[in-house]
Amino acid sequence: MSPEGKTLLNIIILGLGFMVMFTAFGTCGNIEQTVIKSFNSTEFHGSGYTSMAIIYAVFSASNLIAPSVIAVIGPQLSLFFSGLVYSGYIAVFIHPYTSSFYTLSVLLGIAAAVLWTAQGNLLTINSKDSTIGRNSGIFWALMQFSLFFGNLYIFVAWRGKSHITDKDRQTVFITLTVISLVGNFLFFLIQRPDPEPAPTDASESLLCSQAFEAFSKFKIGLNCNGETMLLHVCPGLELTFYSGVYGTCLGAMTQFGHDAKGLIGLSGILIGVGEILGGGVFGILDKCNRFGRNPVVFLGLVTHIVAFYLIFLNIASDAPVAPEEGTQLQAFIQPSVTVALICSFLLGLGDSCFNTQLISIVGFLFRDDSASAFAVFKFVQSITAAVAFFYSNYLLLHWQLLIMVLMGFLGTITFFVVEWGVISSRRDSDYDSI
């Protein structure tokens, strides 16, 4: 097999591994708050939103050590051992206890930092400047199939249910745990690219400090790091909303009838369809590169604004914090399942617009220091997600939507500035060919 064929195969295997593993974990995150509300136990007092806030808070701090872990054991083993922690977190829901639930939340935050930094590192070392956009799209599209398969299972299993029994929960989470373990072992199929990147003589302490140094490197066309950090804020807020909050809102809408719980799965499927479509059109086909990345990011902003407005009209404001019995409030229009599912698709499409372009530009700018650069990317994103999951316990829906719209505008403008700076600094290079 040619070196280019081997690296492409590595990207596909990487995407398939994440697809299988996040079929399990993504589904877990989408339903966990709804499942927790239905527990028939006085011994468990956890919150899915609080757990996710802990995960992303620890995630953000752990990104500072993730490059060092990858330097010591390599990206492949980093993926495998991190994936085992993901499987352990899912397994907690089979027989949940508050202490084990929050302990695994902390451990998962550490594992997530290592996992995503290793993913960014493998994506970069298996790409060239001319293929980083294509490979980002391939990986993103493959991974987002996880939203389709996992949520299809939830839709079929929970269709017509107004309450999730202990047996329902255990069946689902045993299945998800097994699926997650299968995904972990796929990472061993990744081969070392030819030629291998030159080894570095940097010590572990130096590699650890690179995560801090990446903040100052990511400033092309900017005057301060504060602007750059805004670049990663919007995806963090969107991640919180579509991966946990929106599904909980749909499950709380009693106006949707007995199928409200099943709608959580169907919504996740359509989010996945939007993610896959975006990854395919803007990554695999790579048709928009002649115009740069900015038009795709702008499309993501417009798509999300439309989705947020329709959600504001269609979903009751107390849906994120409603009890298991659901909300009796109504928004500004008669609640419509069709509108709710259209919004799911738009959330996925808009998120793929942002993330494929962010992965592409970070990998392009920092291919010589990719582990640290992706660590910083996830550092900022996970801080935002932690804050968002925390306030999701308390804020009504319309306030959450307003925050996402405002930060979406700021993030888009910041991306424009970064992209213009890249074009300006490389006007005489082959930048337009990527």
248 vs 340 pLDDT, higher one: 340
Q: What is the pLDDT of residue 312?
A: 95
89 vs 135 pLDDT, higher one: 89
- Closest by Cα among 232, 240, 254 to 393: 240
* Backbone dihedral angles phi then psi of residue 253, each to the nearest 5 degrees: -85, 95
Q: Please tell me the distance from the alpha carbon of residue 261 to that of residue 357, in angstroms, as a whole number.
A: 33
Q: Is the pLDDT of residue 205 over 60?
A: no
* Backbone dihedral angles phi then psi of residue 40, each to the nearest 5 degrees: -95, 60
Terminal-residue alpha carbon distance, the chain: 24
Q: What is the pLDDT of residue 401?
A: 93
pLDDT band at 18 (very low <50, low <70, confident <90, very high): very high
Q: Is the peptide bond before 320 cis (omega within 30 degrees of 0)?
A: no
248 vs 339 pLDDT, higher one: 339
Write down the mean pLDDT value for the chain: 79
Q: What is the pLDDT of residue 231?
A: 57
Q: What is the pLDDT of residue 115?
A: 93
As a whole number, mean pLDDT of residues 396-414 equals: 89
250-279: pLDDT as tens digits: 877 867 765 666 788 888 889 888 888 887
pLDDT band at 291 (very low <50, low <70, confident <90, very high): low
Among 95-99, 234-238, 412-416, name the one with the lowest average pLDDT: 234-238
Q: What is the pLDDT of residue 362?
A: 72
pTM: 0.72
Is the separation of the CB atoms in 25 and 358 below 8 Å? no
Dihedral (CA of 361, 363, 366, 372) sign: positive
Is the separation of the CB atoms in 393 and 49 below 8 Å? yes
Q: Is the pLDDT of residue 159 over 70?
A: yes
pLDDT band at 80 (very low <50, low <70, confident <90, very high): very high
As a whole number, mean pLDDT of residues 29-36 equals: 82
Is the separation of the CB atoms in 296 and 357 below 8 Å? yes
Among 76-90, 110-124, 145-159, 392-406, name the one with the lowest average pLDDT: 145-159
296-323: pLDDT as tens digits: 888 888 999 999 999 999 999 998 888 7
Among 42-56, 204-218, 334-348, name the one with the lowest average pLDDT: 204-218
Q: What is the pLDDT of residue 165?
A: 80
Q: What is the pLDDT of residue 223?
A: 37
Candidate ranges 5-9, 32-36, 206-210; pick with highest mean pLDDT: 5-9
pLDDT band at 175 (very low <50, low <70, confident <90, very high): very high
Q: What residues contact 372, with CB distance under 8 A and at least 6 apart?
A: 67, 207, 210, 211, 213, 214, 366
Q: Is the pLDDT of residue 391 over 60?
A: yes
Number of C-alpha atoms within 13 angstroms, CB side, residue 416? 11
Among 242-246, 341-345, 399-403, 419-423, name the one with the lowest average pLDDT: 419-423
Q: Is the pLDDT of residue 171 over 80?
A: yes
Relative orientation angle of helices 166-186 and 132-158, to the nearest 10 degrees: 160
